């Protein structure tokens, strides 16, 4: 597999993971309003750790969900920053 194909696979993975994260936050917000079975906080944080931190952050902002919970308010931006730093380090090495 050449570098161009690998890059396409990584970009597709990140796009897909961020879309999933974004909609997970929206669905959980809807469930919260309608007193339905909720998504575990660990699941929301895990999708961010798996590469969906931008989608999670956007989901928090768009859906106004989990914005007051410290582990999300500070955790999601920290995960995002760590992933950006890791990507930069991988690119320059």
Q: How many whole angstroms separate alpha carbon 67 and alpha carbon 59? A: 10
Does 3 score more than 90 pLDDT? no
pLDDT per residue as tens digits for the range 25-42: 999 999 999 999 999 999
Taking alpha carbons only, the member of 1, 40, 41, 48 closest to residue 20 is 48
- The label of the residue with tokens 């890791």 reads 86
Give the pTM. 0.94
Residue 1 pLDDT exceeds 80? no
Work out the mean pLDDT of the chain and round it to a whole number: 96
State the first-to-last Cα distance of the chain, in angstroms, to the nearest integer: 20
């Amino acid at each position: 597999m050449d570098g161009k194909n690998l890059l396409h696979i990584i970009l597709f993975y990140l796009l897909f993971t961020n879309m999933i994260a974004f909609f997970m936050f929206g669905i959980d917000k809807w469930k919260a309003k309608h007193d339905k079975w909720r998504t575990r906080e660990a699941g929301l944080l895990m999708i961010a750790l798996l590469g969906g931190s931008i989608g999670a952050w956007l989901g928090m902002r768009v859906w106004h969900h989990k914005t007051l919970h410290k582990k999300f308010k500070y955790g999601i931006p920290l995960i995002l920053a760590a992933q950006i730093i890791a990507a930069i380090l991988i690119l320059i090495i």
